[in-house]
Structure 1
Amino acid sequence: MNALEADGLHTWYGKSHILHAVSLTVQEGEIVALLGRNGAGKTTTLRSLMGLTRARDGTVRIFDKTTTAWPPFRIAAAGVGYVPEGRRVFQGLTVEENLLVPLERPGPWTIETIYKLFPRLKERRANKGRQLSGGEQEMLAIARALMLNPKLLLLDEPSQGLAPLIVEEVFGVIAGTRSAGMSVLLVEQNVRAAVEIADTACVLDDGRVVFTGPASEFASDEARVRSLAGASVEDWDRPDRELENPG
């Protein structure tokens, strides 16, 4: 069974036609990296899959159920976790209070298992969201989604604004979810980091899918990777990587 199938999605914002017949598949236990330059339609694709910006045409199926017209809360209840761009943790709540916000669903992810996966969150469990660094806020956003015990995780730009060493840590966690049987659709500007952990790469350009294939195949095409990665390649390759300032 596929975790996710999108077929021929056309999505508009007002009079602007953003997605043009976008189709993609995420198999169970697979990580798919959705890549492309800024404005290519990556975030709109995630929003269409989650029912936040409904596609005008096309079909979305999640775990063999047609969810195209479902509201976001129903899609989440079907086992889909969503970590939006910008993290959106509750700044006035503690780490632990943030983790307790989602409705409890049965499964392996509990406060205890989250703290084993993210020891830094355990150390800062009494700190307010506003007191966390960007990397810690991203970890908290992912952890909060895991507390729903999803079978499919949608992540929008988890590396945004993070120092390279923190990116490696966050992406190691994402890769670890696959070993737990979770499926992941990852939108990411840091192409190098994404293709290192992904099974499949899907590239958007101007709202159209222009490449779908093994991530290793895409990663081997240096010119193509650099054309998408831009400055993030230089950031990822920097020899003087430093930990993010926790302030």
Structure 2
Amino acid sequence: MNVLDAEGLHTFYGKSHILHAVSLCVREGEIVALLGRNGAGKTTTLRSLMGLTQASQGHVRILGKTTTAWPPYRIAALGVGYVPEGRCVFQNLTLEENLLVPLERSGPWTIERIYKLFPRLKERSTNKGRQLSGGEQEMLAIARALMLNPKLLLLDEPSQGLAPLLVQEVFDVIGTMRDEGISILLVEQNVRAAVEIADSACVLDDGRVVFQGAAKEFASDEARVRSLAGASVENWEDT
């Protein structure tokens, strides 16, 4: 069963045509890595799926509902968590106050369970957002999304700016969420880490899908992995 289906998305910023007929799907209980160089359209894809930037053409269906023209709050209430690039932690609220911001939805994820998954957050629960390290802020952003008890989670660059040990910790948590039955669409510049944990991969170049298939298949093609940062549509289609 697919929890997310996007078909033929065209998205513009002003007169700039960013997404060109992007189609992708996320099946129940899987991680899909959305990959591509900077400016390929990854964040715009997430924003279009979340209703933050409306696609001018195409269709989005999430958890059985056609959500193409829905505002973000309706999509979130359906059971979709979104962790944007840059974390967006409330700097003047305590860590625990940040966790209490999302709309409460019934489900297994509570503050107590969050603290079991992220022991470091429990230790910092009374610290203000601005007092947290980058890694702690990323964990908090993910934890805050979990408080929605989502069925689908959109993650934008969770490893950005983190030390290697923290990157591994964050990816371990992402794997745990998948094991709990949460479907995940993961935008990530750390290609090797992403394809190691993902079930499927979707690669964008210049707003177009240039690869879609099993993550293991993509990971086994060393030339493609190495050339991802400078991928071109022509090179990908010819290989």
Q: Structure 2 length normalisation: TM-score?
A: 0.95
Q: 1:222: Cα distance to partner?
A: 1.1
* CA distance in 1 between partners of 2:157 and 2:227 (Å): 18
Deviations 1:179-202 (A, max 9, x none): 111000000000011011100000
Partner AA of 1:216 in structure 2: K
Q: 1:33: Cα distance to partner?
A: 0.2
Match in the other structure for 2:236: none
Match in the other structure for 1:76: 76
Aligned residues: 230
Change (3 A) 1:140 1:10: same
Question: Is residue 2:15 matched to residue 1:15?
Answer: yes
Task: Give 4+ residue runs of structure 1 displaced > 2 Å after superposition.
Answer: none
Would the aligned equivalents of 1:104 and 1:148 in 2 still touch at CA under 8 Å?
yes
Question: Is residue 2:47 matched to residue 1:51?
Answer: no
* CA distance in 1 between partners of 2:90 and 2:147 (Å): 15
Counterparts of residues 20-35 of structure 1 (less than 5 Å): 20-35=20-35
> Unpaired runs of 5+ in structure 1?
231-247
Match in the other structure for 1:125: 125
Q: 1:229: Cα distance to partner?
A: 5.3
Q: 1:4: Cα distance to partner?
A: 0.1
* CA distance in 1 between partners of 2:229 and 2:204 (Å): 13
CA RMSD of aligned residues (A): 0.8
Partner AA of 1:187 in structure 2: V
Deviations 1:51-74 (A, max 9, x none): 000000000000111000000000
Would the aligned equivalents of 1:4 and 1:26 in 2 still touch at CA under 8 Å?
yes
Match in the other structure for 1:40: 40
Q: Secondary structure at the match of 2:227?
A: helix
* CA distance in 2 between partners of 1:223 and 1:162 (Å): 26
* CA distance in 1 between partners of 2:223 and 2:140 (Å): 35
Q: 1:228: Cα distance to partner?
A: 2.0
Would the aligned equivalents of 1:30 and 1:183 in 2 still touch at CA under 8 Å?
yes
* CA distance in 2 between partners of 1:188 and 1:229 (Å): 12
* CA distance in 2 between partners of 1:229 and 1:112 (Å): 40
Question: Is residue 2:124 matched to residue 1:152?
Answer: no
* CA distance in 1 between partners of 2:64 and 2:26 (Å): 12
Match in the other structure for 1:111: 111
Q: Secondary structure at the match of 1:185?
A: strand
Match in the other structure for 2:167: 167
